[in-house]
């Protein structure tokens, strides 16, 4: 069965044997292969389908210019730009069905750009000596990137690295055969949330929106989920966003590495996508639970959610800083923004009488938001908690009005 084609990308001057092995496993499983060389200095043993000269030209440069720069980082950025643009064009032309890139730090840097250039649903596999490393920031990862650690992967083939390479080859081919691509004809709502122990609005909202003919994708706002949400928002994938857990913006503002990147709460607005926003769990900063907690949080309330994650409760001044960050991000929106502000709390643990109730923080946050939000944001303050039925009803009311007046396209 030669039903799917995999694009194999790498530096064929230094990793010819490994890339050829990878391609051979794919072919042995019935798949087809097209190859792309992103080398700079050397040449492959056999010509690739897309040469390094093709890649550099697509990036608006030449291999000689990359060499003459005398800077390996600059040279690889030329190749990363060219490979990304070329891969995107080839996929649009239906040349391949899935992509796999092999590399060390240089190849991984390029691979992250190529993966981000391809739409959601296209299998994207990165075989890297630094997979899952802190070297890789969240904002470089495409929404559905797959990675495998290339153990024993320097200087030629061996039984250890073959184990990783063969798994990756089977995985990308299997993914290309099995993937169900998103339905472009059904309007999609992007919603952010945490688990129902903290935020419960998804329970009534998701079926209500589906009954209105919309598909709903809910993103777990713990760094990587927000990164995926922003990645799709940047592509204009959403008919509307229900961004009701913006905690990652607070994480980023206060230096936590559980971050969705500096562009959190901006990409939907940049595309003019209608946004309904509520700052769910704004007063919590999540930190890595298995690491020592920074001394700056010593006098803050803390909640160990599990062995991976601990939440820090912000004080009033901290909350004001988070409020100003929301205002800055939303000020650049090119589309309609409605901000719902529940006066009785924005997370289940912050209800009156709950363990992490933060009345002073909530009052300071709401006041600072109302003082700093731009006039372009429609602020709707309501006397309820974010997990109350009244909150979900208000969100649906705004949504229905926007559907009725054509703000949201069906």
pLDDT at 204: 98
Judge if 40 and 96 occupy the same domain. yes
In the chain, the number of structural domains is: 2
**CATH number of the domain that residue 387 is part of:** 3.40.50.12030
**CATH number of the domain that residue 142 is part of:** 3.40.50.12020
Query: pTM of the entire structure?
Result: 0.86
Section 319-328 average pLDDT:
98
Structural domain contains residue 410: no
The strand ranges marked E within 257-359 are 275-277, 284-288, 302-304, 309-313, 337-342
The string of pLDDT tens digits covering residues 194-251 is 999 899 999 999 999 999 999 999 999 999 899 899 989 998 999 999 999 999 999 9
Handedness of CA 362, 367, 373, 379 (dihedral sign): positive
Judge if 140 and 71 occupy the same domain. yes
Exposed e or buried b for every residue in 217-238, given b needs 16+ CB within 10 A?
A: bbbebbbbbbbbbbbbbbeebb
The string of pLDDT tens digits covering residues 241-291 is 999 999 999 999 999 988 898 999 999 999 999 999 999 999 999 999 899
Interstrand relation of 98-103 and 5-10 (parallel, antiparallel or unpaired) = parallel
Q: Could you tell me if 380 and 394 are in contact, meaning their C-beta atoms sit under 8 angstroms apart?
A: yes
pLDDT at 381: 96
Residue range(s) defining the domain that contains residue 200: 188-404
| Longest pairwise C-alpha distance within the chain | 70
Judge if 306 and 360 occupy the same domain. yes
* Domain boundary, last residue among 178, 204, 227: 178
**How far apart, in Å, are the Cα atoms of 191 and each of 74, 244, 332?**
38, 7, 20
Judge if 276 and 146 occupy the same domain. no
CA 31 remoteness from chain centre: 29
Structural domain contains residue 183: no
Is pLDDT above 90 for 143? no
Q: Could you tell me if 286 and 258 are in contact, meaning their C-beta atoms sit under 8 angstroms apart?
A: yes
Tokens of 72: 């390996």
Judge if 233 and 323 occupy the same domain. yes
Is pLDDT above 80 for 344? yes
DSSP code, position 50: B
């Amino acid at each position: 069965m030669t039903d799917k084609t995999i694009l194999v990308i790498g530096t064929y001057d230094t990793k010819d044997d490994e890339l050829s092995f990878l391609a051979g496993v794919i072919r042995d499983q019935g798949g087809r292969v097209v190859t792309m060389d992103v080398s700079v200095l050397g040449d492959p043993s056999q010509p690739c389908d897309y040469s390094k000269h093709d890649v550099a030209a697509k990036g608006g440069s030449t291999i000689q210019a990359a060499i003459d720069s005398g800077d390996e980082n600059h040279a690889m950025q030329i190749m990363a730009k060219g490979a990304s643009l070329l891969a995107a064009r080839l996929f649009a032309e239906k040349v391949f069905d899935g992509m796999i890139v092999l590399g060390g730090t240089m190849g991984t840097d390029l691979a992250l750009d190529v993966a981000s250039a391809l739409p959601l649903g296209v299998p994207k596999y990165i075989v890297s000596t630094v997979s899952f490393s802190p070297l890789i920031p969240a904002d470089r990862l495409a929404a559905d990137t797959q990675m495998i650690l290339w153990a024993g992967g320097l200087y030629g083939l061996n039984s250890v690295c073959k184990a990783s390479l063969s798994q990756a080859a089977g995985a990308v081919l299997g993914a290309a055969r099995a993937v169900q691509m998103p339905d472009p004809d059904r309007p999609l709502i992007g919603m952010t949330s945490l688990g129902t122990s903290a935020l419960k609005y998804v329970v009534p909202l998701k079926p209500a929106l589906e009954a209105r003919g919309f598909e709903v994708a809910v993103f777990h706002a713990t760094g990587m989920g927000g990164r995926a949400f922003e990645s799709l928002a940047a592509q204009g994938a959403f008919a509307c966003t229900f961004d009701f857990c913006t905690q990652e913006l607070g994480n980023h503002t206060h230096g936590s590495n559980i971050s969705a990147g500096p562009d959190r709460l901006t990409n939907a607005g940049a595309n003019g996508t209608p946004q309904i926003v509520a700052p769910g769990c704004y007063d919590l900063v999540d930190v890595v639970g298995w690491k020592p907690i920074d001394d700056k949080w010593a006098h803050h309330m803390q909640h160990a959610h599990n062995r991976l994650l601990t939440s820090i409760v912000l004080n009033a001044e901290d909350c004001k800083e988070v409020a100003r960050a929301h205002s800055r991000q939303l000020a650049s929106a090119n589309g309609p923004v409605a901000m719902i502000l529940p006066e009785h709390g924005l997370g289940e643990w912050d209800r009156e009488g709950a363990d992490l109730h933060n009345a002073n923080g909530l009052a300071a946050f709401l006041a600072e938001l109302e003082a700093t939000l731009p006039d372009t944001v429609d602020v709707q303050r309501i006397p309820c908690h974010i997990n109350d039925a009244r909150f979900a009803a208000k969100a649906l009311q705004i949504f229905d009005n926007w559907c009725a007046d054509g703000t949201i396209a069906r």
